Structure 1
Amino acid sequence: MAEPGSDAVGQAMDRAELWFMCRAGFVETVSAVGLVAGLPATKIVREEWPAFGIVEVDQALAERAASLAIGRELRSLDALHLAAALALPGEDLTFATWDVRLHAAAGAEGLKLLPETLG
């Protein structure tokens, strides 16, 4: 699904050893692809999903996301994605987003960003 940043994300994913996504990202991705390209197009999302390391949404992650949502003025799903990224170990993590508010929040939390800057 072509949208701003698709090429950059694809290139970054080609270089990365591992990919991670919050469990809620499955719903978000299937919904976005299905609404744009139709139900049959969601098959590829379902087939590729096992390639991702999944960060499960448990109470601790939900609490962190709720705090981020309020403290960083984020939408619910954006806060879940950011909380999931912050739960992962490692210094080589890159957080990809083209949403201005989420990008600023992730940067403020110390994450390496793709793209490095917006605008």
Structure 2
Amino acid sequence: MKRYLSEPGHDLVSQHLKRDPVWCASALARSEVQLSLHRVASGPVEQRELWSTFREDWDRIAVVPLDERCLARSVEIGANFRLQIVDALHLAAADRLPRPLTYLTFDSHQIPAALSLGFEVVSTESAVA
């Protein structure tokens, strides 16, 4: 979301995405981002613009499927770190990727799990602290 909106964290996200040629996301991210953009759009025109920008990005993202393996791993991660299912699914998808792995999140609930999984976490200083 921070990539598409002028809000705190936007510059940090843009900076890291420019540096890294490979972007990955769980299959869930598409629906999650588009619904979130729909909620914040001021109207249909802005929604179409936001969705268009997102679709351009989505075409270059390596999508990690939410298959049985990912779902099972999300239960383990969610139980171990007391996470909501959405957070556990994103982390389980990322856990399938080769290391080293940079994980962008601004959700303070995801950070301890991401660090425990061996990810390099990029977030605001207040979220990591």
- After TM superposition, the score normalised by the length of structure 2 is 0.84
**Which of 7, 22, 25 is the matching residue for 1:21?**
25
Give the fraction of aligned pairs with identical amino acids, expressed as a percent: 31
Question: 1:36 is matched by which residue type in structure 2?
Answer: V
> Does the C-alpha gap of structure 1 residues 108 and 33 become closer, same or farther in structure 2, counting only changes over 3 Å?
same
The corresponding residue for 2:89 is: 80
> Does the C-alpha gap of structure 1 residues 67 and 3 become closer, same or farther in structure 2, counting only changes over 3 Å?
farther
**Which of 62, 65, 68 is the matching residue for 2:77?**
68
Question: After the TM superposition, which segments of 4 or more aligned residues of structure 1 sit over 6 Å from their partners?
Answer: none
Please list every run of 5 or more consecutive structure 2 residues that lacks an aligned counterpart in the other structure. Answer: none
Q: Distance in 2 between matches of 1:4 and 1:113?
A: 17
**Which of 105, 115, 125 is the matching residue for 1:97?**
105
Please give the secondary structure, in 1, of the residue aligned with 2:76: helix
Please give the secondary structure, in 2, of the residue aligned with 1:88: coil
Residues 4 and 98 of structure 1 are in contact (CA less than 8 Å); yes or no, is this contact kept in structure 2? no
Shift of 1:51: 0.8
Residues 9 and 124 of structure 2 are in contact (CA less than 8 Å); yes or no, is this contact kept in structure 1? no
Question: 1:108 is matched by which residue type in structure 2?
Answer: S
The corresponding residue for 2:13 is: 9
- After TM superposition, the score normalised by the length of structure 1 is 0.90
Q: How many residues align?
A: 118
